[in-house]
Structure 1
Amino acid sequence: MRIELVYLENIRSHVKSTVPFARGFNCLVGGLGCGKSSILYAIDFALFGDPLGRSYDYLLREDAESGKVVVQFFQNGKRYKIFRGLKRRGKGISQDFDELKLFENEEQIASVKSDAVAEQLKAITGFNKELFREIVWVRQERLKELLDVRPRERQKRLDELFGLSDYEIAWSNLAGYQKEYEGEKKAYEKDPDIAGMETLNREYNRTVEEFSLTELKLQEITQKLNQTKKELEEVDLKLKKLEAEKAAIEELKRKEAQIQANLANIEDSSARLAEKIEKKKALIEEFKKQLDSIETQIESFKTKLKEIGISPEQPLDAIRQYLAAFDDQISSLKGEQEAALRNIQENQRRVSSLATENRCPLCLQTLTEEYKNRLLQRINEENDNRQKTLTQLKNEIEELQRIRSQANTTFLNLQMFTPKTEELKKRIDTETQALNELQREFEEKHKIEKELRSQLKTIRTEISRFDLTKLENAKAQREQIFKQYYILDSELRTKENRKKDLANRLNEIKERIDQAQQKIERMEKIAKIVEIIGSLRDAYRSIQPKLRSEFVKVLRNFVQQVLDNLIGSEGPLINVLIDETYTPYIKSESGVEREVSNLSGGERTLLAFAYRLGLGQLIMQSRTGHGLSILLLDEPTESLGSEDGSIDRLAEAISRFKAIEQIIAVTHSEAFAEKAEHVIRLEKEANESKILLEK
């Protein structure tokens, strides 16, 4: 990885600063508080986003609401650019994920999500935040930190960086697994399925044999059941046919009962009709007798009329007129009688008058005696004649009245009996018609009765043909076959249930055998696993010291190589020794070993720098397969003085060190900066950092 450019906006004292970097030794130089270390803080923030402490207060400019960092770097022939932002929210400051973007050759490959960007960066650069802050970025006053800690603490920290602590953790973790597997192995050894494996096999074989016999029995029962089912279907069909016939017979019986009821009704109706006919006949006979009697009387009346002299054959109106003529005749005779009587009375008055007077009662002339006597005689004779006439008229009137009375009585009787005759004739006709209607109805009833009796005979013949015993026998046969079918079906179900039970039992036993086999296999595997875990634990216990020894050897070579490069051919030879706690020692040419605490300030600084570089190279080589390509140094000249030339020697050593592609150092030492290949000066004006490129 090589950083090409860093852009800072509202980061500490930087308002808008663009800082270019080049390959080789780059030096940021300036006075205190001018914003040199802020650039390193900005690089760390841009790459990883996490604050060094609990908040981002150390990064964002005090009077700014937001800030931004852009780092452009080169890796494996590709140019990358990462953007990160900060935003003030109330009293706090947080990362602005909307600004988070990662570009590869101008193509965006990740954004917004910090984890995705971190994964991409780790894949690109080969280091994460912890490795960067521990190895790549040597912060102020921490160059000699690893040399000053206690040996065991140094060993623990470096084992973690080298990954050797993972073996210790794995050894401890494996102990738990080993104990767990051993417990599981003991549990399997006591498992009843494993202990009773032989018993399970015997039971399985016995159940298989019973299952086979049950299947054979099932086939036999199924065959019998199918045959019985076929017989049952046949008898059901036969029974259905007989039931249909029985239903038809029942219907015929209902018809028989209906016909019988109809016959009874017809017979009752016929009896009533016969009774009515007889009554009608008797009534007609009675009417005929009455008619004969009346006609006899009418004949006698006609005879009387004939005797009287009235023609009985003429209509009644003519007879009535004839009788009216009798009245006229009697009236005429009575008129004559009254006239004769008046004449007699008149003559009697004349006689009386003549007896007292001799004067004509008519002309009032005086009469002679003789004339008077002759007149009296004539009047008396007239009176006698008139008297005889009166008597004759009386007799005639009486005779006429008798005849008229007799004729009138006879006429009235005839007039009375003649309508009766007509009425009786009409009644006789009406009753005769009614009798004929009754006889016709009687004949129809008789015809219906005859037809019903014929139908009844036919129905009874049909009913007599049905043999109920066939139906009863069919029912008995069906009941017998059904019982047989039910027994077979029950037996089949019992066998099927037994088969299912046996199949389930077989499955259970097989499952238990399989489980037992799996448990045995598992137990054998566990035994192997326990053995392997034991071997691994032994290996982990033995490999850690071996690997540490190898790392110590390689580290010693790296440190010695770096130290030789730093010192060069002009300086005194310094031999480095490193023990199992990664503690470095210096061995002089005379063979005397010195601890770090006994070295001079310049020697300690050079050793610390070489130790850091060698450690970084080794860790990067072991982690990523390539050496350290970038190094950030924050005030590496601490505890060095310009009087003894130690600063110059460190700067010259760094400038000669070409194993690292890019070194960015922050310093306030002008002497140190003079040895750098590229110098970037920082100044502060009006609380704002300014960037000046010197070389």
Structure 2
Amino acid sequence: MRFKRLKLRNIRSYREEEIHFPEGSLLLAGEVGAGKTSILLALEYALFGLQPGQKGSSLLRNDADVGEVELELETNGQVVLIERRLRRQSKGVSNEYAAITIDGEKIESSLTEIKSRVINLLGYPSEFVKKNNLLYRFTVYTPQEHMKQIILEDAETRLGVIRHIFGMEKHKIIKANIGAVVSELRSRVRAMQSAIAELEREKEELKTRVDSIAALERALKEKKAELAERTSLRRELELELSRLEEKIKEKLELEKGLERTSILIENKQANLKSLEKEIKELNSTLAEEKTHFDEASYAQLREELEHAAKLIEECRNKRVSISATIASLERELAETTQKRDRIFKIDICPTCLQSVSERHKHNILLESEKKLSEAKKKLSQMKEEIEKVIAQEQELKARLSALEEKKLGMELLKSKSEYFSKARARLSNLEDGRKMLVKDISSLQSYLNNLSNKLREFDVFDEEFKRKRAELEEVMRSEKRIEIELAEINKEIALSEREVERLKSRIKEKEEIAKKIEKYNEFSHWLSTSFLSLVELIETNLMFKLRQGFSEIFRKWFFILIPENDFDIQIDESFTPIILKGETEMPYEFLSGGERTALALAYR
């Protein structure tokens, strides 16, 4: 890692400053309070942010609310720019913003994420993301007041820092990982041993299942032979029944023919009986025939009826005409009377507006009386005439009624005459039909007797059919039973085979597990003995060489810083400094301030 540029704004004693770091070694020199420590603290803040326990107010300038740090560096061939910002708030000074730009790609994220990226870039252990970076403090920047801290730390912490610094932590991690792996392997072995606990029992069960399948297959073979025998017998019976069914069908056809013939005979006998009854009734009816219908008299009667109806129509028309005349005369009488009465009441003519004289009124009265007399006379004549027309019309209606009654009698006679004529023709037809029916019944009776004789020949097939069908049903039931048994055996074989496959699979899996257990045990034993011993030996040798080199440099720097003294210093196995004065070990606290500082600087 090489620092290239540092930009400060409102950081401790710096209000606005940009520092460019040259290549090679660099010495920060200046008076007390010149700002040397501020630069080192700003570098640390830029890299890791505020450390646990560090207050932002120790970095932010007292008269400022916002402080910023920008650090450009180069590491592993990458150019990195880190930006951080502090802000003063009511509760104190805190981180407000952080960003990192790697080879031009800027990432703005949380403070923890930025710190994690920086630690990863610089190759520090990830454990320092959430705690103080002791490696940085002890190897890059150690404040003066913290120089002796590494000396005063407990042996385990100090040894841990040394391991981190010189890359020896991996041996400790390897040993821890060996323990974790061995523990995990043992845990897996225990789990796998539990998984294969039933292995022997499952092998015995597999053998039992295989023997059971062999027995089932023998039983299956026997049942198949029995089924083949039953199937052959069933087919023979089916053929025999098929032959018998044909005979039964023939018998059924004969029975149907017998039944149809019987029904036909019954129907013809019923028809014959009906014909004979009808013939008897027709003979009785024809015996009642006495008078004959006269067509000429019937035609004359119809002419008389037409003439009478015509006369009645003429009377009706005449009556209507006279009634209209009477109504007209009555209207005329009423109008003339009203006119006469109105004339006697007026004195001035409404047309000419002149006075109407009594003479004129008398002339009008005479004229009106004359018209009234003539109308009354004519009205009386019309009434007498309409009475005559009404009387004539009633007489004609009475005659018409008598003629219609006579016509009805003649039509009835005509109808009877036609009926008797049809009855004689029907009687002739019925006699012919009766003869044919008698002949048909005789033929059908003969055919019926033949059918009955044939049916008796088929009676033997019924019993044989019933017997064969019973045998077939029994064979089919036994065949069905054997098929069910075969299906059950096949099902049991399939289930057993599936169980055998399952057991084989489980046994194979458990045998594989047993092999794994053996391998795990071998590997676990190798890790916990040979490999762990090798790692410890390597670590011991490396730590011994490291301690030798560390001790030489430590002694060299200590004697450079304090050339004239009677001390001897050594480094023990925990890298703790041992100060000897003669044969006596001197505690660190008994040293002078200069001696303690020289010891801390040499150790650093």
Report the TM-score, using the length of structure 2 for normalisation. Answer: 0.59
Cα shift at 1:139 = 2.7
Alignment match of 1:497 (pick from 491, 502, 508): 491
Q: Secondary structure at the match of 2:74?
A: strand
Matched, 1:121 2:118: yes
Cα contact 1:143–1:609 (8 A) shared by 2: yes
Cα contact 1:2–1:75 (8 A) shared by 2: yes
The equivalent residue for 1:137 is 141
The equivalent residue for 2:101 is 102
CA distance in 2, matches of 1:53, 1:257: 122
Cα contact 2:196–2:514 (8 A) shared by 1: no
Matched, 1:559 2:544: no
Distance 1:273 1:141, change over 3 A: farther
Q: Secondary structure at the match of 1:610?
A: helix
Bigger fraction of residues in helix:
2
Alignment match of 2:216 (pick from 214, 217, 222): 214
CA RMSD of aligned residues (A): 5.8
Matched, 1:426 2:418: yes
Residue segments in structure 1 that go unaligned for 5+ positions in a row = 296-313, 319-416, 613-695
Q: How does 1:181-192 map to 2 (within 5 A)?
A: none
Q: How does 1:408-423 map to 2 (within 5 A)?
A: none
The equivalent residue for 2:406 is none
Alignment match of 2:150 (pick from 125, 146, 149): 146
Q: Secondary structure at the match of 1:127?
A: coil
Q: How does 1:630-645 map to 2 (within 5 A)?
A: none
Deviation sequence 1:242-285 (CA, Å, 0-9, x none): 9999899989978986886676556435533431232112322x
Cα contact 2:558–2:598 (8 A) shared by 1: yes
- Compare CA radii of gyration and give the structure with the larger one: 1
Q: Secondary structure at the match of 2:146?
A: coil
Q: How does 1:288-687 map to 2 (within 5 A)?
A: 288=289, 290=290, 425-435=417-427, 472=466, 475-476=469-470, 478-507=472-501, 509-510=503-504, 513-514=507-508, 517-518=511-512, 520-525=514-519, 527-529=521-523, 531-532=525-526, 534-535=528-529, 545-560=540-555, 577-585=570-578, 601-612=593-604
Which structure exhibits the higher relative contact order, with contacts defined as CA atoms closer than 8 Å and separated by 6 or more residues? Answer: 1
CA distance in 2, matches of 1:55, 1:227: 103
Q: Secondary structure at the match of 1:283?
A: helix
CA distance in 1, matches of 2:484, 2:545: 83
Distance 1:36 1:502, change over 3 A: same
The equivalent residue for 1:281 is 283
Cα shift at 1:145 = 1.4
Distance 1:537 1:79, change over 3 A: closer
CA distance in 1, matches of 2:451, 2:144: 131
The equivalent residue for 1:649 is none
Q: Secondary structure at the match of 1:499?
A: helix
Cα contact 1:576–1:585 (8 A) shared by 2: yes
CA distance in 2, matches of 1:249, 1:6: 125
CA distance in 1, matches of 2:299, 2:154: 180
The equivalent residue for 2:384 is none
Cα contact 1:185–1:526 (8 A) shared by 2: yes
Distance 1:478 1:74, change over 3 A: same
Cα contact 2:82–2:100 (8 A) shared by 1: yes
Distance 1:125 1:283, change over 3 A: same
Cα contact 1:151–1:582 (8 A) shared by 2: yes
The equivalent residue for 2:387 is none
CA distance in 2, matches of 1:38, 1:491: 98
CA distance in 2, matches of 1:531, 1:500: 46
Cα shift at 1:72 = 0.4
CA distance in 1, matches of 2:580, 2:260: 143
CA distance in 2, matches of 1:474, 1:30: 133
Cα shift at 1:138 = 1.1
Equivalent residue pairs, number:
484
CA distance in 2, matches of 1:281, 1:580: 160
Cα contact 2:78–2:102 (8 A) shared by 1: no
The equivalent residue for 2:341 is none
Q: Secondary structure at the match of 1:6?
A: strand
CA distance in 1, matches of 2:209, 2:246: 52
Matched, 1:69 2:69: yes
Q: Secondary structure at the match of 2:99?
A: strand
Distance 1:14 1:209, change over 3 A: same
Cα contact 1:85–1:100 (8 A) shared by 2: no
The equivalent residue for 1:84 is 84
The equivalent residue for 1:648 is none
Cα shift at 1:71 = 1.2
Q: Secondary structure at the match of 1:138?
A: coil
Cα shift at 1:553 = 1.7
Cα contact 2:255–2:455 (8 A) shared by 1: no
CA distance in 2, matches of 1:89, 1:442: 138
The equivalent residue for 1:112 is 109
Instruction: Compare 521-530 and 19-28 and name the one that shifted more.
Output: 521-530
CA distance in 1, matches of 2:482, 2:455: 41
Q: Secondary structure at the match of 1:70?
A: strand
Deviation sequence 1:533-556 (CA, Å, 0-9, x none): 541566667666554433312322
Cα contact 1:584–1:595 (8 A) shared by 2: no
Cα shift at 1:449 = 8.7
CA distance in 1, matches of 2:283, 2:442: 25
Residue segments in structure 2 that go unaligned for 5+ positions in a row = 301-408
Matched, 1:45 2:40: no
Distance 1:101 1:172, change over 3 A: closer
CA distance in 1, matches of 2:7, 2:568: 43
Q: Secondary structure at the match of 2:53?
A: coil
Q: Secondary structure at the match of 1:141?
A: helix
CA distance in 2, matches of 1:202, 1:96: 73
- The percentage of counterpart residues that share the same residue type is 21
CA distance in 2, matches of 1:57, 1:447: 145
Q: Which residue identity is paired with 1:282?
A: S
Distance 1:210 1:146, change over 3 A: same
Cα shift at 1:479 = 2.5
Deviation sequence 1:559-607 (CA, Å, 0-9, x none): 356668x769x9999975311121234689x999876556554454344
Q: Secondary structure at the match of 1:211?
A: helix
Matched, 1:27 2:24: no
Q: Secondary structure at the match of 1:51?
A: coil
